[in-house]
Amino acid sequence: MMDLSALEFDQKGLIPAVICDHQSNEVLMVGYMNEEAVQRTVASGQTCFWSRSRQQFWVKGEHSGHKQYVKWIRLDCDGDCLLIGVEQVIGACHLGYRSCFFRELREDRWEVVADKVFDPDGVYEN
């Protein structure tokens, strides 16, 4: 088992994981991991998260095929946030965008600043 002693999990046993493109550092998404999700991510080489709403593990791309292959994992100075560089297949956002951060505040309004890279209706069941 890997040494997780440097990681500072919150009171619910979770640590945020910022997922970015391993080459450009573009932020793709944010998820939460517990100790087992971190271990599963390291062991499999694919991102595994803990769903706070469903209370279960999920692997990015398990249903869509839009997988994330881990290239590196970094820990912030306080030990309470992970930064994970991945090779992203297609898009990270379930709404069809490469990144979940596709809206920008412009003149007090949120505007879409990216193009969709896939049709979510063709990927996810309603």
Task: Tell whether 71 is covered by a domain.
Answer: yes
- The CATH number of the domain holding residue 77 is 3.10.20.810
Report the distance separating Cα 111 and Cα 105, nearest Å: 6
At 43 the pLDDT is 97
Report the distance separating Cα 90 and Cα 98, nearest Å: 7
At 124 the pLDDT is 82
Task: Tell whether 106 is covered by a domain.
Answer: yes
Task: Tell whether 95 is covered by a domain.
Answer: yes
Going residue by residue through the chain, which has 126 residues, state the pLDDT in tens, using 9 for 90 and above. Answer: 689 999 999 999 999 999 999 999 999 999 999 999 999 999 999 999 999 999 999 999 998 999 999 999 999 999 999 999 999 999 999 999 999 999 999 999 999 999 999 999 988 865
Coil, helix or strand for 35? Answer: helix
Neighbour count for residue 121 (Cβ, 10 Å):
9
Task: Tell whether 2 is covered by a domain.
Answer: no
The whole model's pTM is what?
Answer: 0.94
CB 94 within 8 A of CB 125: no
Task: Tell whether 8 is covered by a domain.
Answer: no
How many domains does the chain divide into?
Answer: 1
At 126 the pLDDT is 53
Give the long-range contacts of residues 8-13, CB within 8 A, separation 24 or more: 8/78, 8/79, 8/80, 9/34, 9/35, 9/80, 10/80, 12/52
Report the distance separating Cα 58 and Cα 62, nearest Å: 7
Domain range for 44: 15-116
Report the distance separating Cα 75 and Cα 60, nearest Å: 20
